[in-house]
A = this chain, B = another copy of it.
Amino acid sequence: MARLSQRRSQRKDGARISQRPFRLLRSPYPPLEILSADQIEAIHLTSLRILEEVGLQFLDDEALEILRGEGARIDPESRMVRMDRGLVLEWLAKAPSQFALEARNPQRNLVMGGNAICFSSVAGPPNCSDLDRGRRPGTLADLQELLKLAQSLNAIHLLAGAPVAAIDQPAATRHLDVYKSYALLTDRVWQASALGRERIADGIAINSISRGLSLEQMSGRPGLLTIVNTNSPRRVDGPMLQGLMEMARHGQPVVVTPFTLAGAMSPVSLAGALALQNAEAIGLIAFMQMVRPGAPAVYGGFTSNVDMRTGAPAFGTPEYAKAVLAGGQLARRYRLPYRSSNVNSATAVDAQAAYESSMSLWATVLAHTNLVYHGAGWLEGGLVASYEKMVLDAELLQEMAEFLQPLEVSEDTLALDAIREVGPGGHFFGAAHTLARYETAFYQPMLSDWRNFETWREAGAKTATERANAIWKQLLADYEPPATDPAVAEAIEDYIARRRPELETNPPP
């Protein structure tokens, strides 16, 4: 087949890594429902009783004032907030069930909600690692390399928080350098840190500059995300509340994610952990609507279990998969967009990392997770951002994206004529029906090696992890920054030049 050989040689000569194009995903399949409607209702009702009878602690006076004003019962001493179910459900209903997320490049715009599925890069690890340089605390240079990688991988729809902490930068101003890196090295939706009002305000400012919008314009156009974690059980810290209120007031979406590891920060039984997760998520999203009705919010789930022998968190477990699926059912009950994560507990980019991530990823997709957080690069329970894992995960994401393309059944694809044409025991390689379709018929992997054993051995017998190492190096070598209007880049520099001394003088919390 002449055309096949031609294509093969192009792949060998070309410097670029073969990838599927960037594309928006919608699940054509029904979500997997592992709980009955009655069971979901029981969790829902328990979470309402938690909010009514037990309460959430809000560690911020401004938030407490707002809650008091809307009729919540506040214990001033303990700052415990109790909300009747009517109050919770009335406000919760004001959150939009779906919203658009605008990137600075309109081709990277996303939809959050319904059956749309978006994959993000990893966020938050203090360390990074790759096969060449080993495991190390993150620096701004590492963070920028990981952002370039994420930008280069078409399977990644948006950037989550900092892919690794830039430990080498001062804590008070680090977020400015991170935001600038997002804004100039990538063209996708990104995320600000909800650690206090000021870090959010800087994110909103830099995001608006990069999108060429005034703050007023931006207010009606969501395009910056943040994650607000509760300090489970039943506590919401002050800086997080300040960040949440700042985002709400600017019409930017908050992903409210209780950190409810079963057996540690929540009950050892999954149903109880989900009830607590649900109470914290809907309680906080209801509060966000009090700050600004209609503010975009995402229901986040992060319920997994701990290893009861050591207390270490475990991810990508059967319990995690169930929690992700049940969480999707709960989010759909409130018609809220849903976030869960591609997580694992492996220490190396090995078979365990792959099967735990696969367990997580299948659950996220079957749950109709709208925002699959930590989609690529997360390792070691979130302590490490791995370069090789980012490539490995991008392969998993691409495969899942392909799985979400509907199987076409038509006279053409049923191929009765081709079946008639090829004799018993014959071969379809040469059939006209095959020749017309073979180039695009099947998924072509980026990482998987399907060569036979001898060829694979002669080529160095490289494992998938070793091949991932070569791929990220190639991607970094091929990286080109997205085009940026010099005036925009200058405005970002100006903003940062003004803010840096302010933050150095008055460090945020």
| Residue positions of A touching B, CB distance < 8 A | 4, 7-8, 28-30, 32-35, 39, 42-43, 46, 49-50, 53-54, 56-57, 78, 80, 135, 231-235, 262-272, 275-276, 305-312, 314, 317-319, 321-322, 326, 345-359, 362, 366, 380-381, 383-384, 392, 395-396, 399-400, 402-403, 405-410, 412-416, 418-420, 422-429, 431, 433-434, 437-439, 441-445, 447-453, 456-457, 461, 463-465, 468
Q: Give the CA-CA distance A386 to B416 in the complex, in Å.
A: 39
Residue picked from A424, A443, A456, most chain B C-beta under 10 Å: A424
B448 touches A356 (CB 8 A): yes
Closest 6 CB pairs of A and B: A272-B415, A358-B358, A354-B354, A267-B415, A269-B413, A318-B402
Name the residue on B nearest A350 (C-beta): B463
Contact residues in B for A456 (Cβ distance below 8 Å): 347
User: Of B272, B438, B468, which is within 8 A of A414 by CB?
Assistant: B272
B409 touches A271 (CB 8 A): yes
Contact residues in B for A346 (Cβ distance below 8 Å): 448-449, 464
Residue picked from A28, A407, A465, A468, most chain B C-beta under 10 Å: A407
One complex includes copies of this chain to the number of 2
Contact residues in B for A354 (Cβ distance below 8 Å): 350-352, 354-355, 358
B233 touches A407 (CB 8 A): no
**Chain B proximity of A456: nearest CB distance (Å):** 5
B407 touches A46 (CB 8 A): no
- Contact of A352 with B464 at beta-carbon distance under 8 Å, contacts A32-B32, A43-B414, A235-B424 already known: yes
B269 touches A419 (CB 8 A): no
A414 touches B275 (CB 8 A): yes
Contact residues in B for A7 (Cβ distance below 8 Å): 309
B450 touches A307 (CB 8 A): yes
Contact residues in B for A415 (Cβ distance below 8 Å): 267-269, 271-272, 275
B407 touches A270 (CB 8 A): yes
Q: Give the CA-CA distance A305 to B428 in the complex, in Å.
A: 12
**Chain B proximity of A369: nearest CB distance (Å):** 15
Q: Give the CA-CA distance A425 to B235 in the complex, in Å.
A: 6
Contact residues in B for A452 (Cβ distance below 8 Å): 312, 347
**Chain B proximity of A409: nearest CB distance (Å):** 4
**Chain B proximity of A21: nearest CB distance (Å):** 15
CB-defined A-B contacts under 8 Å, sample of 13: A53-B420, A54-B420, A233-B423, A262-B441, A263-B442, A268-B434, A269-B412, A307-B450, A311-B429, A346-B449, A354-B354, A355-B357, A355-B399
User: Of B49, B429, B450, which is within 8 A of A264 by CB?
Assistant: B429
Q: Give the CA-CA distance A358 to B342 in the complex, in Å.
A: 14
A233 touches B359 (CB 8 A): no
B34 touches A32 (CB 8 A): no
Q: Give the CA-CA distance A433 to B269 in the complex, in Å.
A: 9
**Chain B proximity of A375: nearest CB distance (Å):** 14
- Contact of A424 with B233 at beta-carbon distance under 8 Å, contacts A30-B33, A269-B413, A311-B429 already known: yes
B352 touches A355 (CB 8 A): no
Q: Give the CA-CA distance A483 to B382 in the complex, in Å.
A: 48
**Chain B proximity of A332: nearest CB distance (Å):** 15
Q: Give the CA-CA distance A262 to B362 in the complex, in Å.
A: 24
A233 touches B426 (CB 8 A): yes
**Chain B proximity of A13: nearest CB distance (Å):** 15
A347 touches B449 (CB 8 A): yes
A355 touches B409 (CB 8 A): no
Contact residues in B for A355 (Cβ distance below 8 Å): 354-355, 357-358, 392, 395-396, 399
Q: Give the CA-CA distance A80 to B423 in the complex, in Å.
A: 11
Q: Give the CA-CA distance A407 to B323 in the complex, in Å.
A: 9
A427 touches B271 (CB 8 A): no
Name the residue on B nearest A435 (C-beta): B268
